[in-house]
Amino acid sequence: MNIKPESLSLVDSSLLEKIDALFACNLGHDVDLPQLIVVGQQSSGKSSVLEGLTGLPFPRDSSLCTRFATQIIFRRAPRKSISARIIPSKDSCSEHQKKMKQWRKDELTELDADSFAGIMREVIDLMGVGPNQEPGSPAFSRDVLVLEIADPTQEHFSVIDVPGTFKRTTQGLTTKDDIALVDNMVKGYMTNPRSVMLTVVPCNADIATQEIVEQAEDLDPSGDRTLGVLTKPDLVDKGAENDIIELIEGKRHKLKLGWHLLRNPGQAELVSQSKSRNELEGAFFRNVAPWNNLDGEVVGVKSLRDRLQGILASHIRREFPKVKSDIQSKLRAAEKKLKGFGPARQGPIQQRQYLMKIAGEFQDIVSSAIGAQYSSSPDFFDKHRIHRVATRARQRAEEFAKLMTESGHKFDFEETGDKADEAKEGLLKVELAVTTRSIVESDDIEDILSPYDDVEEPYDEGILDWLTEVYKSSVGFELGTFSSSLLRTTMQKQSQKWKDIAKGYISDIIAIAHQFVSSLLQHIITDSHVLDALSSRLSDHLRGKYLEALEKTDSLLRVELEGTPATHNSVFTETLYQCRQQRQKALLKEKMITSGKYGEVIRLEDLVSQHPLQNGEQMIQKIHDILKSYYLLSRKRFIDNVRMQVADDLLVTGPNTPLKIFSSEFVSGMTDEELDDVAGEDPNVKSNREAAQEKINLLKKAQKILR
């Protein structure tokens, strides 16, 4: 059956050629494209309608019924050619897609009934559908067969045939899954807001029972893109013709685009081929009542083509700008998605560059954090207070110093003179309820940090009794002095809480640093695979730094509490002198007299009068004053050393702190294997990146087509 060129001049050929070019590059999966689709239930006469529109001899063999969508494209070209290819389903596996894309039939000379049927059989077997497949194989495919017919005199025309819907299974041929697959496939084409639907319904069926009509109304409630096509008027029961006429005249079940009536040739007429389809159909509508009373514009395939010409022309011109807009919008979205994956990381060079960039950004924020320059990265520092590491470290250092000063000693030292009076009045006593820790650390470093312990308040009395006991238990043959080991022994006892307080402080600084590093990595690295792999790679290095800080704290404790007490600081002698002055003043205070002329004075005889304490009591007071003077000096020294040498230098502000580990130097030292383990793309990310890039390439290609 030949097609007259003038009969298919449905719309501006340049627009249709661009639409078909978009379909050819598989853009239809991503962008709704204007298209003409023919839908209907099985045995509705859909194939005959397509034959009438295209002039192609669709196979009549039941085993070759439509099992996939078929796009038929007619176009004008310098020479005659017929070709066939397959657009694979987007949801199919890569192996299947490759197999479908490789299949082509070019340079076909004819597309008669036999060659058409042969192509359909080959495609059915290739797609793995139909009755000749293994049990359990699907009967239908989401792949699309594309037939393209070119001719120097051909006008552009394009239509898509989709499988007919059905509701009953056939033993050994179709299943309920096939019913659902076809329904979803057909609905997918109908849902496209830019498709014009030719809804084929047989006249000898009740319109109210035709689900395809109901679906069309649901998906196109305004009726802007649905044209009803009625077939088989020759099979209408006598007396029921008026119902069909009322449909066509718009008196019931009204469609905005209306209804059209076709009379397809029967099987016997096809076999005889004594008359063409147009002749048979024309004779029917001229001679058979009541159909011969209908307007010629709503009957016959020739007038149907004319109606489609106007419908498609206005529809495609209206939708074409929207297609351009959609392509641009989807291109921006795809480029944004691709950017979110970061640069491609296919080899050591790209992987190292990727990590170098991250490390540079990481260290920029670290520098701001250490310098308390929080305004430089407000999106990070304003998100949570744990990000303000300099402020937190400073506050924790002040808490450490305060706790050491107020609760670091076991006994309060004895006060003399005015301070003794103040202490009796309770003016210097501070009630404390504190612990060694205040920062909650991450679970992954909990095992190396100090536990949370309460810090006991110092005993406010009893130091002299304790010193007396210690002195008596260690006195030797010394005359007027005491054993040199006694200061170290009493110092260790008086400072026994230093270890827990100091290690609690350093544990908190470690927790602050660890939380900061972890949070900053999460802030900078969006790829979960890279984040997990890099965190794992940094973990041992970080733990090493943390353990180094704890070991340094132990070293300072050992020097202060286990080594020989020593100092060259004049503060020690000054403090000891003040202690002795206060004690001397306290002894003489009772003998002072007030003179109007000289103020408070003491008589010489009282000054030289001796009321000596027992030798042991004098020694206890001497030990007390020396211990006090050395303890106060040592505590100040220890507080500063722990903060400066451990917290600051090893954990926060120094050149090799945990905050400085992830740097360009660290990345430079990684082997190719380590780089691939950390920065190599996750298979899913790689696949998504490739898909995004492929989509971008496709959309850019589409933009070129539309120019």
The torsion region of residue 253 among left (phi > 0), alpha (psi -120 to 50) and beta comes to: left
Note the pLDDT of residue 518. 93
> Per mean pLDDT, which range of 68-77, 287-296, 479-488 is the poorest?
479-488
Residue 165 lies in a domain: yes
Are 133 and 22 members of one domain?
yes
Distance separating alpha carbons of residues 477 and 490, to the nearest angstrom: 19
CATH number for the domain harbouring residue 42: 3.40.50.300
Q: Phi, psi (5° rounding) for residue 525? A: -95, 115
Provide the b/e sequence for 470-507 (b: ≥16 CB within 10 Å).
Answer: bbeeeeeeeeeebeeebbbebbebbbebbbbbbbbbbb
Does residue 682 register a pLDDT over 80?
Answer: no
Question: What average pLDDT does range 263-290 have in this prediction?
Answer: 79
pLDDT tens digits for range 526-567 = 888 889 999 999 999 999 999 999 999 999 999 999 888 888
pLDDT of residue 478: 59
Phi and psi at residue 260, in whole multiples of 5°? -140, 140
Q: Are strands 144-151 and 69-76 parallel, antiparallel or unpaired?
A: parallel
Tell me the pLDDT tens digit for each residue of 414-444. Answer: 876 555 544 444 434 444 447 888 887 677 8
| Percentage of the chain lying above the pLDDT 70 cut | 88
Residue whose entry in the numeric block shows the structure tokens 């017919």: 149
Distance CA 551, CA 540 (A): 16
Task: Say if 679 falls within a structural domain.
Answer: no
Distance CA 632, CA 412 (A): 12
325, 406: one domain:
no
Residues 261 and 208 in one domain: yes
| pLDDT in the model for residue 1 | 38
Query: Does 11 score more than 70 pLDDT?
Result: no
* Cβ partners under 8 Å of residue 350, min gap 6: 343, 344
Is residue 212 scored above 50 in pLDDT? Answer: yes
Q: Are residues 517 and 613 in the same domain?
A: yes
Band of the pLDDT at 9, cuts 50, 70, 90? very low
β-bridge partners, 252: none
What average pLDDT does this structure show over 198-202?
A: 93
Contact between residue 145 and residue 23 where contact means Cβ atoms under 8 Å apart:
no
Regarding whether 206 and 151 lie in a shared domain, the answer is yes
Q: What is the pLDDT of residue 5?
A: 36
Answer yes or no: do 391 and 316 share one domain: no
Q: Give the pLDDT score at 56.
A: 85
Q: Which residues contact 32 (CB under 8 A, 6 or more apart)?
A: 192, 193, 194, 195, 323, 326
Q: Is residue 382 part of a domain?
A: yes
Residue 357 covered by a domain:
no
Quick one: DSSP state of residue 346? -
Strands (E), 62-131: 69-76, 81-87, 104-108
3-state secondary structure (DSSP) of residue 236? coil
Domain count, the chain: 2
Which token pair is 592? 């002072």
pTM attached to this predicted model: 0.59
Tokens 């063999």: give the residue: 61
User: What local confidence, expressed as pLDDT, does residue 33 receive?
Assistant: 84
Same domain for 272 and 406? no
Look at residue 348 and tell me if it is in a domain.
Answer: no
Q: What is the pLDDT of residues 434-476, one digit of tens each?
A: 788 888 767 788 889 988 888 889 998 888 889 888 888 877 6
Q: How far is CA 70 from the centre of its chain?
A: 38
> C-alpha angle 647/637/389, rounded to 5°?
20
More confident residue, 89 or 481: 89
Contacts of 293 (CB under 8 A, 6+ apart): 245
**Does residue 341 lie within any of the structural domains?**
no
371 and 327 in a common domain? no
Which of 211, 114, 153, 652 has its CA nearest to residue 394? 652
As a whole number of angstroms, the distance between CA 676 and CA 670 comes to 10
Distance of CA 360 to the CA centre of its chain: 23
Rounded Cα distance between 260 and 231, Å, is 9
- CA distance linking residue 649 with residue 548, whole number of Å: 11
* pLDDT surpassing 80 at residue 500: yes
Q: Is the CA virtual torsion 366, 371, 372, 378 positive or negative?
A: negative
CB neighbour class for 128 (10 Å; exposed up to 12, middle 13-18, buried from 19)? middle
Same domain, 61 and 205: yes
Reported as a single tens digit per residue, the pLDDT across 551-560 is 999 999 999 9
Q: Which domain holds residue 50?
A: 5-336+700-706
The dihedrals phi and psi of 231, each to the nearest 5 degrees, come to -125, 170
Following DSSP, what letter does each residue of 584-610 receive, concatenated?
HHHHHGGG-EEETTTEEE--HHHHH--
Percent of the chain with pLDDT over 90: 33
Most confident listed range (303-312, 482-491, 568-577, 656-665): 656-665
**Residue 62 pLDDT more than 60?**
no
198 and 267 in one domain? yes
Question: CB of 412 within 8 A of CB of 458?
Answer: yes
Does 123 share its domain with 174? Answer: yes
Instruction: Give the pLDDT of residue 635.
Output: 93
Residue 150 buriedness (CB in 10 A; 0-12 / 13-18 / 19+): middle
Q: Mind listing the pLDDT tens digit for each residue in 122-170? A: 898 899 887 676 777 788 888 999 998 888 877 677 788 888 888 777 7
What mean pLDDT is predicted for residues 649-661? 94
Helix (H) or strand (E) holding 434: strand 434-435
What is d(CA 626, CA 385) in angstroms, rounded to the nearest whole number? 44
Could you tell me which of 198, 149, 155, 197 has the C-alpha nearest to residue 16? Answer: 155
Residues 275 and 327 in one domain: yes
Rounded to whole angstroms, the Cα distance separating 562 from 554 reads 11
Q: Report pLDDT for 418.
A: 53
For 79-88, what is the mean pLDDT?
89
Q: Is the peptide bond before 135 cis (omega within 30 degrees of 0)?
A: no
Q: How far apart are CA 306 and CA 171, in angstroms?
A: 42
Kindly state whether residue 93 falls inside one of the protein's structural domains: yes
Query: pLDDT by residue (tens digit) across 292-345?
Result: 999 989 999 989 988 887 788 788 888 888 989 999 999 999 999 888 877 788
Between 386 and 144, the more confident residue is 144
Identify whether 685 is part of a domain.
Answer: no
- Structure confidence at residue 128 (pLDDT): 86
> Is 389 in contact with 517 (CB distance < 8 Å)?
no
